Structure 1
Amino acid sequence: MKTWVVANQKGGVGKTTVAVTLGGWLVDKGKRVLLVDMDPQCSLSAYFGFEPDRIEASVYDLFTHPDRDPSEVVVASNIDGIDVLPATPAMATLDRQLGQRQGQGLVLSRALRQLAEGYSHALVDCSPSLGVLMVNALAAADRVLVPTQTEYMALKGLERMLRTLTMINRSRSTRLPCLIIPTMFDRRTRASVGALEELRQQHGDELWREVIPVDTQFREASRNGLPLPQHLPQSRGAQAFRQLLSELLAAEAAGHDEEAA
């Protein structure tokens, strides 16, 4: 199982949309996918109709009950091939509860190893805050996807996220692959076009060459509790994500070839 972590230290840039939509296209290709909600705001869990205050077990239990079998926390979504490790608001208290306790940075990694045989990919939707939840997600990652809204305030959050990745990479034997994904792009606005140009100038090597456009169908898909590929696969937004997934899988395959060599 490969783990793709969707992270940015700014909210509202499309992290949940990226995780859910890529998951939808992976399922369309016959893969089994685990979506992991590591955000106390519980947006991913709510997307699939789970009520955070009524969930019997969540990611929170993996931290507070280390011996808990993670398969007991996984719940099936309404889409065949997609399961969810849900979140609850109580996860916001984990930094305070756990403090500096040793061994808390690998909780998610251990859980995903136990679940690995059942899935081709895990997609992790992160909280925008740098704390024990994001550290766990990055420690488990094979690749980091950084959605960045094409507007100037979002670029500041991107810089914080890249500094965090630099810090994480210092503790790793190999560099963690990162791809910046321009989201909510509206070619009709000067601000969006200007922000994209700045991204290309400053982060060309790590920037996806295409964009995720503004598309009202993302909102409609969310309202129906469906990934966009299952809601309206021919929409502009869905097709942009289809291309993104194709390039991610190609990079993944190339990585396997390099390892084999």
Structure 2
Amino acid sequence: MKVWAVANQKGGVGKTTSSLALAGLLADAGQRVLVVDLDPHGSMTSYFGYDPDKLERSGFDLFLHSGQVPQGLARELLVRTSHGRIMLLPASTALATLERQSPAKSGLGLVMSKALAQLWNDFDHVLIDSPPLLGVLMVNALAASQQLIVPVQTEFLAVKGLERMVNTLTMINRSRRQALPYMIVPTLFDRRSHASLSTLKLLRGRYPEHIWPAYIPVDTRLHEASRAGLVPSQFDPGSRGVIAYRSLLKTLLGRQAGAQPT
């Protein structure tokens, strides 16, 4: 099972869209996919028609056992989505209360790793949608993952968020046995916008080894897919956004294969 986290310490950069677009393409290719919503706002959970304010059980339940995960609990919390090959571990707004606790308290930083260990043979890929702030939930996402995807909106304020994210990753890597590889993905790119063009140039110059060479364009079809509750490739497989995400997935899978020991 491969686990990818999608994170940035700035909101509105396309984390949920990126998570679901990649998940949909993997599922379309026959992979068994789990998407994990670790954002208390529950955007991914709402995407599939579940209400984060009303769910009786959610990923929050994983954190209620002093850092341990009772056997079978992770599987019990999963719900179906509009795609037959994608399951969801939903979020509830109660997740926000965890951010007042220390990531080190009772081993809470490794809860997601322990939960996914119970599901290791059930899925081929996991994508974790993280909250836009450093805390116990983001620490869980980064600790559990083998690849980090950092969507960055192509506007100047987003570059500051990226700097914070890279600093956070440097800190997290000190406690990992192996550094977490990451790929910066320019999103919401508008070739007619001077800000988009300038920011893309800046990102390429500042992070040449980690940035994906292409970009995800502004595409209203991605928003329409969200309103329909369908992953983008189900809604419109030929849209500009889906074509771009298909190229991104090819790059990610290529790097993943290249990183595996021979």
Could you tell me the TM-score, scaled by structure 1's length?
A: 0.96
Farther off after superposition, 128-137 or 165-174: 165-174
Q: Displacement, 1:175?
A: 1.4
Counterpart in 1 of 2:85?
Answer: 81
- Which 4+ stretches in 1 moved above 2 angstroms? 65-68, 95-100
SS at 1:116's partner residue?
Answer: coil
Q: In 1, distance between residues paired with 2:102 and 2:59?
A: 14
| Equivalences for residues 115-126 of structure 1 within 5 A | 115-126=119-130
Q: Which amino acid aligns with 1:235?
A: S
Q: Which amino acid aligns with 1:167?
A: M
Counterpart in 2 of 1:174?
Answer: 178
Q: Displacement, 1:96?
A: 2.4
Counterpart in 2 of 1:4?
Answer: 4
Gaps of 5+ in 1: none
Counterpart in 1 of 2:37?
Answer: 37
Q: Does 1:72 align with 2:76?
A: yes
Distance 1:97 1:161, change over 3 A: closer
Q: In 2, distance between residues paired with 1:99 and 1:30?
A: 36
Question: Identity over the aligned pairs, expressed in percent?
Answer: 52
Q: Which amino acid aligns with 1:17?
A: T
Counterpart in 2 of 1:162?
Answer: 166
Q: Does 1:232 align with 2:201?
A: no
Tell me if the contact between 2:221 and 2:239 (Cα under 8 Å) persists in the aligned partners: yes
Q: In 1, distance between residues paired with 2:140 and 2:159?
A: 24
Note the alpha carbon deviations across 1:67-107, whole angstroms, 9 max, x for none: 44110111111211000000001100013256752311100
Counterpart in 2 of 1:142?
Answer: 146
SS at 2:110's partner residue?
Answer: helix
Q: Aligned residue pairs: how many?
A: 258
Counterpart in 2 of 1:59?
Answer: 59
Could you tell me the TM-score, scaled by structure 2's length?
A: 0.96
Q: In 1, distance between residues paired with 2:3 and 2:168?
A: 18
SS at 1:118's partner residue?
Answer: coil
Picking from 137, 141, 145, the partner of 1:133 is 137
Q: Which amino acid aligns with 1:11?
A: G
Gaps of 5+ in 2: none
Q: In 2, distance between residues paired with 1:192 and 1:117?
A: 42
Note the alpha carbon deviations across 1:46-66, whole angstroms, 9 max, x for none: 001111122221110000134
Higher helix share: 1
Counterpart in 2 of 1:242?
Answer: 246
